Amino acid sequence: MAKIIQINDIVEGMIAAHDIMNNDGHVLLAGGTRLTPNHINLLRKREVESLLIREPGEELVEIDEELAKVEENSNSVVIRRAQERIQKVFAKVREDELMGKLFSLALSRAAEITLTPEGNGDG
């Protein structure tokens, strides 16, 4: 049986019982992962509030290394998408002196941006 544990009570070595997705549907962390401090930080960053954790004795799947790759890829995809969106938003005004400055400031914060749907029809 798995158990729901609040993020503040999660400690290193616990095993996630299910996949955790980011907003784009990419797997941040696959079920079966033994949690490291990095994983826990990532979950906090993504504002995951609680996690289903495997009880001791449940079957264990060690796929940490592959997971680390998935995590890295999905992070860089998210950042690239934010950068592309900012470029699109500024496309017609980048020549302007003030807007050029603002563009650089925004671009340097791409990693912190959570995108919402764009465009007409959805926004």
SS3 label, residue 99: helix
Question: Beta-carbon neighbour count of residue 53 at 10 Å?
Answer: 20
Shortest Å distance, C-beta 114 to other proteins: 8
End-to-end CA distance of the chain: 43
Q: Output 10 or 110, the one with its CB closest to other proteins.
A: 110
Report, in Å, the least distance between residue 22 CB and other proteins: 14
Of 58, 74, 78, whose CA–CA distance to 66 is shortest? 74
Binding segment for other proteins (CB under 8 A), chosen from 14-22, 28-36, 64-72, 114-122, is 114-122
If one asks whether residue 109 binds other proteins (CB under 8 A), the answer comes out as yes
Residue 106 interacting with other proteins (CB under 8 A): yes
